Amino acid sequence: MKTHRILTAAALCSALSLTWTAAAAEEIPRKGGTLVYASLSGPGTLDPQVAASMVDLEVIHHLFEGLVTIDSHYNTKPLLAREIKISDDQKTFTFLLRKGVKFHNGKVMTSADVKATFERYARVSPNKSVLDDVAGYDTPDPDTFVIRLKNPNAVFLDVLKTPVYPFVILPAEQKDKPARGIDVIGTGVFKLGQWVKDSYLTIQRFDDYVPDDSASGPDGFAGKRTAYVDTVRFNFVPEANARVAAMQTGEAVFTSTIPPELAARLKSQKHLQEVTVYPYCQQYFIVNSQQPPTDKSQVRQAIRTAVHVDDIMKVIGASRKNHSMVYPDGAYYGGEATDGRYNENDPGKAKALLKEAGYQNAPIVLQTNNNYDYMRDSILVLSEQLKNAGMNVKIDITDWTTNASNLQTGKGNWNVSTTSFCSNPILGPQQWQTMIYNFPHVKNDKVLDDAYDAFYKTPDLEGRKKSWLTIEQRVLDEGYMIKVADRGNVQIINTRKVGGFEPYYMNHFWNVWLK
């Protein structure tokens, strides 16, 4: 067995593209105070093993940590592991744990907690299929955890770094808890304070936190984390105008996801700094492959064929055209991947596909929510495009928590919805797998199954790229997901009151202080 450097199989070349003009002068951090964040919505769950929504994960990653994580360039880096050894046959992964790490209840983390966490993950997580190839786990001592695979996996560490359905470590006592039923106890730099549903949530500095002292400071989600503020308060403010008002009055010092036209109102207030993050997320229309009439591939293809991206981009804010499920500077980008499958805007062809499917004017339910303006507005634009292609469209507007739950479970009698995927296009094909199957509720697709099987078994990047091209084309050919655009995230920060904030695709408040 030999020790390998912890790098992604396909490290992305680009960092964040940021509009960020914070003062360059070095400031001295200070402890104390409550940072108020005007957030879009409250989390639906704080059980990390079933969490995929950004509003869930922004809280979760302050409370929990994994064996590995992602740095500022999305490479795989150790976090709770101090060293990782990979066998020459890429089937055995040995994690040497950092010593003395404490959970929020005071208990010291051991390999028994890690093993129990993985066993629960394999039982409750929508992402559990990524552990299907595990032959077993070993805990030779309290500081060593071993994963044995049945087959070689060239990207297994990259699988474990996912920030969506994250492999963060829970106390062993949580092993038998049902999905969404855990006690919120992690090893993170913050612990859960109060959670008042539909109003606010607070996280508090964990004074017994054990940082990674092998690093000099933070690096994305990796490195040495320090909590300077006593408390971060997430106020749930679904209306964008209300979030802008909270920044203007000083009620909040940070807010995320502001439409560019509203952000423009703040330009006269120089201390309210606009920050735009690229890459951030990619927006898709999700088509339910198990709900009639979109259980027929021709109907899904008709929807894809009718989509006119240019009109939808007018209502989603900061965005860029991109046909691919990864970013143009990513290792798995294929320029030819979606030729003839993106932004077709052909209602005549869509009508012909509906006729081929035997479509008899059955309602096609478009479900969206009022929490995210761009989601609601893009569904409204899509509805007109589908009507123009001869479809009988019904719109169902609910709240984001319900909408997100229905996307993941397939419940709610919807045919098309929309969401954004943020970590998946950044981190690569292994991160896409669960979303590709779970959100459109794909079943028994041998082309996808075989292509993903080949992807994991192929040691060289060029071979994996060919498998990914097959996957990407299959998803788009079948109309499981319809690409809209790459989205940027426009945020506002009060630079008079906040120091140390580093823009990233997911907001985090360690190493941030109040001036």
Q: Kindly tell me the number of DSSP H helices and DSSP E strands found in the chain.
A: 14, 23
Predicted TM-score (pTM) of this structure: 0.76
The whole-number pLDDT of residue 196 equals 97
Contact criterion met (CB below 8 Å) for 33 and 229: yes
The whole-number pLDDT of residue 389 equals 98
φ, ψ dihedrals at 158, nearest 5°: -65, -30
The whole-number pLDDT of residue 374 equals 92
Contact criterion met (CB below 8 Å) for 434 and 442: no
Contact criterion met (CB below 8 Å) for 74 and 61: no
DSSP notation for 119-180: HHHHHH-TTGGGGTTEEEEEEEETTEEEEEESS--TTHHHHHT-TTTT-B---GGGTTPPTT
The whole-number pLDDT of residue 75 equals 85
Go through 142-175 and write b for each residue having 16 or more CB atoms within 10 A of its CB, e for each that does not: ebbbbbebeebbbbbbbbbbbbbbbbbbbbbebb
For the chain, domains (ranges, CATH) are 41-236 (3.40.190.10), 280-487 (3.10.105.10)
**CA 501/CA 478 separation, integer angstroms:** 42
The whole-number pLDDT of residue 277 equals 87
pLDDT in tens, 106-157: 999 999 999 999 999 999 999 998 999 999 999 999 999 999 999 989 889 9
The whole-number pLDDT of residue 336 equals 67
The whole-number pLDDT of residue 209 equals 98
Q: Name every residue whose Cβ is closer than 8 Å to that of residue 70 and which is 6 or more positions away in sequence.
A: 76, 77, 161, 163, 220, 221, 222, 427
Go through 230-264 and write b for each residue having 16 or more CB atoms within 10 A of its CB, e for each that does not: bbbbbbbbbebeebbbbbeeeebbbbbbbbeebbe
pLDDT in tens, 471-493: 999 999 999 999 999 999 899 99
Report which residue type is found at 130.
Answer: V
The whole-number pLDDT of residue 48 equals 98
- Rounded mean pLDDT for each run of 10 residues along the chain, 515 residues in total: 33 37 64 97 96 94 97 91 94 97 98 98 94 97 98 90 95 98 98 96 98 94 97 96 96 92 90 90 97 98 98 92 88 74 96 98 97 94 98 97 93 96 87 93 96 88 92 95 94 96 93 97
The whole-number pLDDT of residue 279 equals 82
